């Protein structure tokens, strides 16, 4: 699949999504640095990634 772009939901900058990317993968916005989760590939769709939760080994 060819690379696509999608708008950053934080700053509206265009973020490149590589051709080998998968839904659920995390990418960073080159403009604002936000961590974004790929939610769709055709068309490209991004959402702000949820914060990582601590794994305390419980």
With respect to residue 28, please indicate whether it lies within any of the assigned structural domains: yes
pTM reported for the whole predicted model: 0.82
Q: What pLDDT does 24 receive? A: 96
Question: Alpha carbon 47 to chain centroid distance?
Answer: 6
CATH number at residue 20: 2.20.28.160
With respect to residue 41, please indicate whether it lies within any of the assigned structural domains: yes
Q: What pLDDT does 51 receive? A: 83
With respect to residue 22, please indicate whether it lies within any of the assigned structural domains: yes
Which domain, by its residues, includes 43?
Answer: 4-48
One digit per residue, pLDDT tens: the chain, 58 residues? 678 999 999 999 999 999 899 999 999 999 999 999 999 998 999 999 988 777 666 6
CA distance 47 to 41: 12
Q: What pLDDT does 2 receive? A: 73
Q: How many domains does the chain have?
A: 1
CA distance 3 to 7: 14
């Amino acid at each position: 699949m060819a690379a696509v772009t999608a708008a950053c939901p934080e700053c509206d900058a265009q973020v490149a999504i590589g051709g080998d990317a998968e839904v659920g993968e995390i990418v960073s916005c080159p403009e604002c640095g936000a961590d974004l989760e790929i939610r769709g590939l055709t068309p490209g769709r991004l959402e702000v990634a949820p914060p990582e939760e601590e794994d305390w080994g419980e």
